[in-house]
Amino acid sequence: MKQWEYKLIGHTKLVDTYAPWNEKTMRGNKEGIRTLTALNNLGKQGWEYVESGVSLHNYSDLNTYVFKREKKSG
């Protein structure tokens, strides 16, 4: 049986941690490029997007994202 681990990340932490600002790559790009970059970076680490919402699960950030990935055995 598969077991999962979960991660709740507020939007601010999501972009600051997984898509730090880079003037050269971000300049001229459409709004939302940092969020998209962050989501792709988490996917590369094996995290699967589950849901997001405003004040989801009473988490402190305005918009919260929920991710899961399969726990590795051993």
Question: Whole-angstrom Cα distance, residue 24 to residue 12?
Answer: 20
DSSP 8-state symbol, 29: P
Query: Residue 38 above 70 pLDDT?
Result: yes
Average pLDDT along the chain: 82
* Overall domain count for the chain: 1
For 41-71, write each residue's pLDDT tens digit. Answer: 999 999 999 998 775 555 555 688 999 999 9
**Average pLDDT, integer, range 27-32:** 66
Q: State which residues form the domain around 60.
A: 4-70
Regarding predicted confidence, which is higher, 20 or 8?
A: 8
Dihedral angle computed from the Cα positions of residues 36, 49, 64 and 21, in that order, rounded to the nearest 10 degrees: -30
| Residue 37: φ, ψ to 5° | -60, -45
Residue 69, CB-side half-sphere exposure with 13 Å CA sphere: 11
Structure tokens at 57: 């699960």
pLDDT attached to residue 48 = 96
